[in-house]
Amino acid sequence: MFERYTEKARRVIFFARYEASQFGSPYIETEHLLLGLLRENKVITAKLLSGLDSVEVIRRKIEAATAHKEHISTSVDLPLSNESKRVLGYAGEEAERLSHKHIGSEHLLLGLLREASGFAAHLLNEEGLTLENARKEIATWPPEAELRGATGERTVEIHGRTFSFGYILKASRASRDFTWIKREWKPADIVVDKEQGGICFDVSVADGKRFQIQSGGWTKEPCAVCDWQLEAGDEGFTNGRRWICAECYHRFIERNDSGGSAWEST
Q: Domains of the chain by range and CATH?
A: 7-146 (1.10.1780.10), 151-266 (no CATH)
More confident residue, 145 or 95: 95
Distance CA(118)–CA(208), nearest Å, equals 63
Amino acid 189: pLDDT: 93
CB burial of residue 9 (10 Å; 0-12, 13-18, 19+): buried
pLDDT digits (tens, 9 = 90+) for 28-41: 999 999 999 998 88
**Torsion region of 99: left, alpha or beta (phi above 0 gives left; psi -120 to 50 gives alpha):** left
Count the helices and strands in the chain (H runs, E runs): 10, 10
The whole-model pTM stands at: 0.57
- Binning the chain into helix, strand and coil, the percentages to the nearest 5 are 45, 15, 40
Check residue 242 and give its pLDDT: 93
> Is residue 74 very low, low, confident or very high in pLDDT (cuts 50, 70, 90)?
confident
pLDDT digits (tens, 9 = 90+) for 199-216: 888 999 999 999 999 999
d(CA 238, CA 109): 35
